[in-house]
Amino acid sequence: MSASDWWKGAVTYQVYPRSFQDTNGDGIGDIPGITRRLPYIADLGVDAIWLSPVFTSPMLDMGYDVSDYTDIDPTFGTLSDFTQLIEKAHDLGLKIIVDQVLSHCSDQHPFFRESRADRTNPKADWFVWADPKPDGSPPNNWLSVFGGTAWAWDARRKQYYLHNFLTQQPDFNFHNPDVQEWHLANMRFWLERGVDGVRLDTVNYFFHDPLLRDNPADHREKTQAEANPYGMQYHLFDKNRPENLPWIERIRALLDEFPARTSVGEMGESHHAIRMMGDYTAPGRLHQCYSFEMMGYDYTPEFFRSRIKDFFEGAPEGWPMWAFSNHDVPRHATRWAKHAITQDALAKQAAALILAFEGSICLWQGEELGQTDTTLSFDELTDPQGIAFWPEPVGRDNTRTPMVWDNSPQGGFSTATPWLPVKPPQLSRNVAAQAQDPDSVLNFYRHMLAFRRDTPVLRIGKTRFLDLPDPVLGFLRGDDLACIFNLSPTPVALTVAGLHGLIGGPSLAANLAGDTLTLGPNGVAFARTAGPL
């Protein structure tokens, strides 16, 4: 692989800055804290870090409501702190990918304040404005992800504006070419400061249907209303528009001006996410794209097999990034608990599983500890989505609680009361204790990451699935590396001819005697093959 293709098959570690390390005693993580902990991330063996937003923001959506795209929020530090972070990361061989929230901004952004003043100002058409229906109701049936209509009334303009998320997060009008040029300039600012890539938030939300047509109902049968009615629509007109793709190509052209840069798109779609990941990573578009497809509750061989096969069969020139968890969903150690013989066994199997997949990989901070969701009471919540839909679906605070570094009262995260609590179940799974235990989840992640790094077919080798009975998932990477997983808490034995001995380090609860492979609960087998399987 060339230096410009470093991202292909790479492993990225997602850092949520508010929850990683506090250095100034205010209970909120900051950029100097991330810089302090960079050796830990480098020692894990990952290739890159994705930073959730650190830009100026009122923090109503924890930084995903940006009010200044080219400065650092004082909560997190300064531009100088950011420069030091980049320099130290590069010294340690780590790449830095920054979140870019382009589809919407904060209502405190000066451009939105100008736009809402009247219908004739220079920024009047920079956001999505629409007249009410004759009865005063919103122009169509589009819904907000965070609940209710996606339209908010503004008395100054006597119009509605579009917000796919919070009312305080107005959507930019990407049909206006000036908006596109301005956002390209914002991204150029960070690329010139040395970042190695951009993660594009809600990459399928940029354009809307200019005719403002109603979305139809979701075509999938529903027996009852969903807790969040957003999922009851088929989102043909408020997102997923064909105009997104030429805009993505413009972003790629910008990135191609800078050596060895990459892009990652977040595909926020529940209907055709795998196909759309392929469309968005076709030549000349995004380098890689991930969706929430593997962040649900399915844990069956057919589920994982179908997602990987569907992607590479449908997009042979595209490239996926797979993730089991992130800052928006419950941690997979919690979601998949019923499939575990023990929490550690499941956490280790999940590490072996995802790090054996063809594609790039994203790990969510704390998953290398086998961390679980934190149980929070309503009064402890800060997440507007969690508050709006309490008690279900579970909001996002449960997965965002602070990183636990040691067994001190706040887990070594802060000397102050943290913005979200550190509770005993999470405190027990701290870095310091696991670093000393050779059998810990943390040390298994380190071993598995080294195995992937030192085994080229795990980064770029093709995948061929094996015909094995449930609950076993098996596939070959390249010509001769078999990867076999018992996705259940019950032992299994099966005949697999052609295996040429287990690879000891990454294999777990596995035994090979002749052609008989025995896998214990949540067992994992990596083996070289003596011939075709």
Cβ-based neighbours of 391, under 8 Å, separated by 6 or more: 378
- Structure confidence by residue, pLDDT tens digits, 374-388: 999 999 999 999 999
Confidence tier at 225 by pLDDT (50, 70, 90)? confident
Domain limit, last residue, from 392, 426, 452: 452
Beta pairing, strands 197-200 & 262-267: parallel
Task: Decide if pLDDT at 2 tops 80.
Answer: no
Confidence tier at 3 by pLDDT (50, 70, 90)? confident
The Cα–Cα gap between 260 and 41 comes to 21
The Cα–Cα gap between 33 and 412 comes to 11
Q: 82: which 2 tokens?
A: 């950011």
Task: Decide if pLDDT at 530 tops 70.
Answer: yes
Collect contacts of 529-533 with beta carbons under 8 A, ≥24 apart.
Answer: 529/476, 529/479, 529/480, 529/481, 529/482, 529/498, 529/499, 529/500, 530/498, 530/499, 530/500, 531/498, 532/498, 533/466, 533/476, 533/482, 533/496, 533/497, 533/498, 533/499
Within this chain, do residues 182 and 33 fall inside the same structural domain, yes or no?
A: yes
Within this chain, do residues 305 and 405 fall inside the same structural domain, yes or no?
A: yes
Q: For residue 476, give its domain range.
A: 463-529
Nearest to 150 by CA among 205, 68, 222, 95: 205
Q: How far is CA 343 from the centre of its chain?
A: 22
Residue 229 belongs to a domain:
yes
- Structure confidence by residue, pLDDT tens digits, 164-188: 999 999 999 999 999 999 999 999 9
pLDDT at res. 155: 97
Report the 10 Å Cβ neighbour count for 528.
Answer: 13
- Structure confidence by residue, pLDDT tens digits, 20-64: 999 999 999 999 999 999 999 999 999 999 999 999 999 999 999
Within this chain, do residues 505 and 481 fall inside the same structural domain, yes or no?
A: yes
Are 136 and 75 a contacting pair, CB within 8 Å?
Answer: no
pTM confidence score: 0.97
Confidence tier at 395 by pLDDT (50, 70, 90)? confident
- Structure confidence by residue, pLDDT tens digits, 283-319: 999 999 999 999 999 999 999 999 999 999 999 999 9
pLDDT at res. 532: 63
Task: Decide if pLDDT at 227 tops 90.
Answer: no
CA angle 55, 330, 7 (to 5 degrees): 55
- Structure confidence by residue, pLDDT tens digits, 334-343: 999 999 999 9
> Taking the chain, what is the end-to-end CA distance rounded to the nearest angstrom?
28
CA angle 506, 512, 517 (to 5 degrees): 95
Q: How many structural domains are present in the chain? A: 2
The Cα–Cα gap between 480 and 505 comes to 17
Confidence tier at 224 by pLDDT (50, 70, 90)? confident
Task: Decide if pLDDT at 393 tops 80.
Answer: no
- Structure confidence by residue, pLDDT tens digits, 320-379: 999 999 999 999 999 999 999 999 999 999 999 999 999 999 999 999 999 999 999 999
pLDDT at res. 1: 63
Q: What is the mean pLDDT of residues 502-528?
A: 96
Task: Decide if pLDDT at 392 tops 90.
Answer: no
Within this chain, do residues 405 and 491 fall inside the same structural domain, yes or no?
A: no
Domain limit, last residue, from 418, 452, 486: 452
Within this chain, do residues 411 and 524 fall inside the same structural domain, yes or no?
A: no
Residue 128 belongs to a domain:
no
Q: What is the 3-state secondary structure (H, E, C) of 211-256?
A: CCCCCCECCCCCCCCCCCHHHHECCCCCCCCCCHHHHHHHHHHHHC
Within this chain, do residues 385 and 497 fall inside the same structural domain, yes or no?
A: no
Confidence tier at 397 by pLDDT (50, 70, 90)? very high
Residue 307 belongs to a domain:
yes
Q: Give the CATH number of the domain where residue 496 resides.
A: 2.60.40.1180
- Structure confidence by residue, pLDDT tens digits, 400-425: 999 999 999 999 999 999 999 999 99
- Structure confidence by residue, pLDDT tens digits, 251-265: 999 999 999 999 999
Residue 131 belongs to a domain:
no
Are 17 and 76 a contacting pair, CB within 8 Å?
Answer: yes
Residues for the chain: how many in total? 533
pLDDT above 70 as % of the chain: 99
pLDDT at res. 220: 84
Q: Give the CATH number of the domain where residue 23 resides.
A: 3.20.20.80
Amino acid identity, residue 115? S
Nearest to 262 by CA among 215, 309, 356, 196: 196
Q: What is the mean pLDDT of residues 496-508?
A: 93
Per-chain mean pLDDT for the chain? 96
**Run of H or E residues at 176:** none
Residue 259 belongs to a domain:
yes
Within this chain, do residues 359 and 431 fall inside the same structural domain, yes or no?
A: yes
The Cα–Cα gap between 21 and 30 comes to 6
Between the alpha carbon of residue 408 and those of residues 15, 114, 178, 373, the distances in Å are: 21, 48, 51, 19
- Structure confidence by residue, pLDDT tens digits, 122-172: 999 999 999 999 999 999 999 999 999 999 999 999 999 999 999 999 999
Within this chain, do residues 83 and 213 fall inside the same structural domain, yes or no?
A: yes
Residue 150 belongs to a domain:
no
Within this chain, do residues 337 and 415 fall inside the same structural domain, yes or no?
A: yes
Within this chain, do residues 196 and 233 fall inside the same structural domain, yes or no?
A: yes
Between the alpha carbon of residue 464 and those of residues 130, 308, 384, 402, 533, the distances in Å are: 51, 10, 43, 39, 10
pLDDT above 90 as % of the chain: 95
Residue 147 belongs to a domain:
no
Within this chain, do residues 360 and 308 fall inside the same structural domain, yes or no?
A: yes
Q: How far is CA 252 from the centre of its chain?
A: 20
Cβ-based neighbours of 25, under 8 Å, separated by 6 or more: 414, 415, 416
Collect contacts of 300-303 with beta carbons under 8 A, ≥24 apart.
Answer: 300/470, 300/471, 300/487, 301/468, 301/470, 301/471, 301/472, 301/473, 301/485, 301/487, 302/470
The Cα–Cα gap between 266 and 5 comes to 20
The Cα–Cα gap between 517 and 499 comes to 9
Residue 428 belongs to a domain:
yes
Within this chain, do residues 484 and 355 fall inside the same structural domain, yes or no?
A: no
pLDDT at res. 222: 81
Domain limit, last residue, from 452, 471, 505: 452
Please list the active-site residues: 201, 257
